[in-house]
Amino acid sequence: MSDQVVTGDVDLSIVDEMVERYGTEPSAAIPILLGLQESYRYLPIDALRYVTEKTEATPDQVYGVATFYGQFRLKPVGEHIVRVCHGTACHVRGAVSIDQVVCDSLGLADGEDTTEDYKYTLEKVACLGCCSLSPVIMIDDKVYGSLTRKKVQRIFKKLGREGAK
């Protein structure tokens, strides 16, 4: 039998690996959490609790780091990340409308950012650095620019996500 510690769907042996790699000092919290985020694609609360058991970091310190930095997520993310640029150029050229058609295409209800099947997570970002192509979205590492509502609908239709509601 393995020495894996599993709570619910969370394999806590990943925490053990991160602690072994980065140490137990409170200053190791950020690299440990980055490693956990990469492994789980978010920070499960059971993993955060286990970090406090295995390190010298207090629950307040670990939770403070997890909630302070924008790259950490406390909810599961989708397999694919859809970033909608809301920078100045994109905003002026219709980012709000593009954002709405992405939400409609993914079937996201108001206030939701991840599809029910955990295939897609929507992120609104300040800038993707493609101002000359505005408005822009990025799906994983692929940039789509000079968008209109119809172009966005076609992109998601090709991905099999047309009006997923």
User: Are both 64 and 85 inside the same structural domain?
Assistant: no
Q: What is the CATH number of the domain that holds 128?
A: 3.40.30.10
pLDDT for residue 135: 98
Angle between the 45-54 and 13-22 helix axes, to the nearest 10 degrees? Answer: 40
Q: What pLDDT does 8 receive?
A: 59
Query: Does residue 137 sit within a domain?
Result: yes
Show the domain range for 113: 80-158
Same domain, 23 and 55: yes
For 43-59, b/e burial (b = at least 16 CB within 10 A) is bbebbbbbbbebbebee
Looking at the 3D structure of the chain, how many domains does it have? Answer: 2
Rounded to whole angstroms, how far apart are CA atoms 123 and 142? 15
**Is 133 part of a structural domain of the chain?**
yes
Residues 129 and 152 in one domain: yes
Residues 104 and 141 in one domain: yes
- Return the bridge partners of 120, or none: 80
Domain annotation covers residue 57: yes
Q: Are 63 and 89 in a shared domain?
A: no
Tens of pLDDT along the chain (165 residues) come to 334 444 557 899 999 999 999 999 999 999 999 999 999 989 999 999 999 999 999 999 999 999 998 889 998 999 999 999 999 999 999 999 999 999 999 999 888 999 999 999 999 999 999 999 999 999 999 999 999 999 999 999 999 886 554
